[in-house]
Structure formats: structure tokens, C-alpha cells
């Protein structure tokens, strides 16, 4: 019986390699949304509460000045914060809300010299912080060309937030910023989808809200990953590629970022970077500062 000719296995032509994704838009520096302690009446040290924990050695109620706060609004243990259990102070960032309340809302009136302002100023500060955080994210979103179709909505929301930041103290203390926060959150979700699709074609990892505490992810390609709200506490992220990963609200406390690349990561904040571990081999967006407590490479 003659051999039945086998159907020839034609190799499919190799598809052309996808064009390299365009570089993500540089994140704007936003200096007005960064803490300017020189122009603030130490509101984070007086207005906000904290609880005894790994970040603070004592509990302090809202509206009570910290015992380490000097009368000139400087911290009495500034150079020893991390060594003496006040790590939380080195992580916090007010997004510029402190100077806005101190110099604009209250026109430079110091709560120590003008005690009548104290209660209202301390109540207005947390609201302003939420608003400034929204401005931080919205400004970044507006710098993304891939999300151009959302720019009108982003601008409108930004305008509403900015308008509220200019309100007087009484309006601020009774304002509910949560509808604006919800609106912003939804817009940022859409921006994230568009930007990550544009810059990281193909499958993108979805770890939204995932429990990745202590996860061993060293060297993982996390470009374009959705890490929004993920718990990355003490995760090993050494050498990870996190460009265009969405890090909005992810908990990076003690995450090891040595050798990791976070340039172009979406919605990253100074507080998240401050809370993580890194060194000079960690690549962070130029809009953020390298924490002074990060170690040089071993
Ligand atoms: S320890 Fe220093 S930085 Fe921390 S809350 Fe007290 S005064 Fe402020």
C-alpha cells in the first residue's frame, strides 16, 4: 500500500513583531501639590490623629499638637524620627494641603498666635488634603495623551475640585468631598485602562486589590499590570519592571524596590515611595523625590 502522502505541514508565517509601544507621557512635577513645610503651621503634627503602631510609638487624638512639636512649628526629633519609632512621620505627604490651608484659606494666621482659628483650621485640613490628593491624580491623568477622550471630563472634575480648594474655612469644614472622590476614582479607572492598553499591548496582569503581602515577585515583568489597591506589604519587587503599572492606592510598605523601574508607573505618590524600601538602583519618576532614608546599594 503506497504511503498516503501526508498533508504538508505548512508553517504559518511568523507575524511581524508588534511595534514598540510609545513611551508613556512624563508625569508632571506638580510642585504646588507637594508639601511645603516652611509655609505650613505644622498641621499634620497637630490636626491629625495617629495610633500607637509600627509607625508611631504613641497614640495622639486629632487636634492635639504632638509632644515633639516645637513652638516654631519644627519637629524636635526630625533627625531621629525613624530611629525612635516615628516612621509614620517620614512617610506622610499632605499633597500641599498644609500650605494651602495656612497661607490661603487662613491668610497666614497662625493657630498658635490666633487660637480662634485653631478648631476650624484643624477641621479644614483633612478635607483639603483629600482635595489636593484628587488634584494630584487628576493633573497626572490630564497629562496622558492616550486618555485624550476623557480630558473634558477630567478638566471639569479638576475645576470643581479646585473651586472647593478656594472656599472659605466654614465651607470646607462642612463640605463632603466624597462624591468628588468617587467621580475622580471612576475617571482614573478609565484613564488607566486607556493608558495601559496604549503602552502595553497584549495581556496585562490583573492584581487589583490582591493580597500580595510578602510575595516573591523579584524580576517580574509587571508593565501595564493593574496593581490598584493591591497589598504589596513587604513584597519582594527587586528588579521588577513596573513601568505603566497602575499603582493607585497600592500598599507598598516595606516593599523591596531595589533595582525596580517605576518610571511611568501610574498614580504613584511620594507617600507610597517613602513607605517602601529602595536605594540608588531604584528608578522612580522624576516628579518624586528619592527618600533620604533609602540606603545606598550594598
Ligand atoms: S514626631 Fe515630629 S514630625 Fe512627627 S508628628 Fe511629632 S512633631 Fe510632627
pLDDT tens digits, one per residue of 73-112: 999 999 999 999 999 999 999 999 999 999 999 999 999 9
Task: Enter the pTM of the model.
Answer: 0.89
Domain limits, the chain: 31-199, 203-298
C-beta 284 within 6 A of ligand 1: no
Tell me the β-bridge partners of 241: 221, 261
C-beta 257 within 6 A of ligand 1: no
- Count CB-CB contacts under 10 A for residue 72: 8
Looking up cell 513584597 gives: 235
Which sign does the torsion angle of CA 257, 262, 265, 269 carry? positive
Per-residue model confidence (pLDDT) at position 201: 77
- Among residues of the chain, what percentage have pLDDT more than 90? 83
Q: Domain 203-298: which topology?
A: Pectate Lyase C-like (2.160.20)
C-beta 77 within 6 A of ligand 1: yes
Residue 57 has pLDDT above 60, yes or no: yes
Nearest ligand 1 atom, CA 66? 6
Residue minimizing CA distance to atom 8 of ligand 1: 45
Specify which of 14-18, 115-119, 203-207, 215-219 reaches the highest per-range mean pLDDT: 215-219
C-beta 45 within 6 A of ligand 1: yes
Residue 5: band (very low, low, confident or very high) from pLDDT cuts 50, 70, 90: very low
State how far the Cα of 211 lies from the Cα of 213, in Å rounded to an integer.
6
Kindly report the average pLDDT of the chain as a whole number: 91
Residue 18: band (very low, low, confident or very high) from pLDDT cuts 50, 70, 90: very low
C-beta 141 within 6 A of ligand 1: no
Taking the mean position of all CA atoms in its chain, how far away is CA 147?
19
Per-residue model confidence (pLDDT) at position 2: 40
Higher-confidence residue of 9 and 171: namely: 171
Q: What is the pLDDT of residues 124-176, one digit of tens each?
A: 999 999 999 999 999 999 999 999 999 999 999 999 999 999 999 999 999 99
Ligand 1 centroid–CA 257 distance in Å is 26
Using DSSP, state whether 60 is helix, strand or coil. strand
State how far the Cα of 27 lies from the Cα of 191, in Å rounded to an integer.
14
C-beta 75 within 6 A of ligand 1: yes
Q: What is the pLDDT of residues 233-283, one digit of tens each?
A: 999 999 999 999 999 999 999 999 999 999 989 999 999 999 999 999 999
Using DSSP, state whether 74 is helix, strand or coil. coil
Amino acid at each position: 500500500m503506497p504511503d498516503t502522502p501526508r498533508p504538508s505541514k505548512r508553517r504559518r508565517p511568523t507575524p511581524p513583531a508588534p511595534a514598540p509601544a510609545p513611551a508613556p507621557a512624563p508625569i508632571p512635577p506638580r510642585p504646588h501639590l507637594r508639601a511645603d513645610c516652611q509655609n505650613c503651621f505644622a498641621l499634620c503634627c497637630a490636626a491629625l490623629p495617629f495610633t500607637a503602631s509600627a509607625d508611631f510609638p504613641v497614640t495622639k487624638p486629632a487636634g492635639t499638637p504632638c509632644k515633639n512639636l516645637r513652638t516654631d512649628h519644627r519637629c524636635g526629633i526630625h533627625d531621629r524620627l525613624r530611629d525612635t519609632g516615628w516612621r509614620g512621620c517620614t512617610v506622610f505627604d499632605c499633597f500641599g494641603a498644609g500650605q494651602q490651608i495656612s497661607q490661603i484659606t487662613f491668610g497666614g494666621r497662625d493657630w498658635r498666635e490666633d487660637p480662634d482659628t485653631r478648631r476650624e483650621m484643624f477641621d479644614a485640613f483633612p478635607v483639603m488634603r483629600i482635595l489636593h490628593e484628587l488634584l494630584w491624580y487628576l493633573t497626572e491623568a490630564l497629562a496622558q495623551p492616550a486618555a485624550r477622550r476623557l480630558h473634558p471630563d477630567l478638566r471639569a472634575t479638576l475645576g470643581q475640585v479646585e473651586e472647593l480648594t478656594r472656599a472659605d474655612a466654614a465651607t470646607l469644614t462642612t463640605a463632603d468631598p466624597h462624591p468628588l472622590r468617587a467621580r475622580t476614582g471612576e475617571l482614573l479607572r478609565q484613564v488607566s485602562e486607556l493608558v495601559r492598553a496604549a503602552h502595553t499591548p497584549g495581556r496585562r496582569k490583573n492584581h487589583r486589590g490582591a493580597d500580595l503581602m510578602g510575595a516573591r515577585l523579584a524580576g517580574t515583568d509587571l508593565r501595564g499590570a493593574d496593581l490598584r489597591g493591591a497589598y504589596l506589604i513587604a513584597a519582594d519587587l527587586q528588579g521588577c519592571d513596573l513601568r505603566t503599572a497602575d499603582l493607585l492606592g497600592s500598599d507598598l510598605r516595606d516593599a523591596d524596590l531595589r533595582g525596580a523601574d517605576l518610571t511611568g508607573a501610574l498614580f504613584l505618590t511620594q507617600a507610597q515611595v517613602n513607605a517602601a524600601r529602595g536605594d540608588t538602583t531604584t528608578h522612580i519618576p522624576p516628579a518624586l523625590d528619592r527618600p533620604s532614608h533609602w540606603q545606598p546599594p550594598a
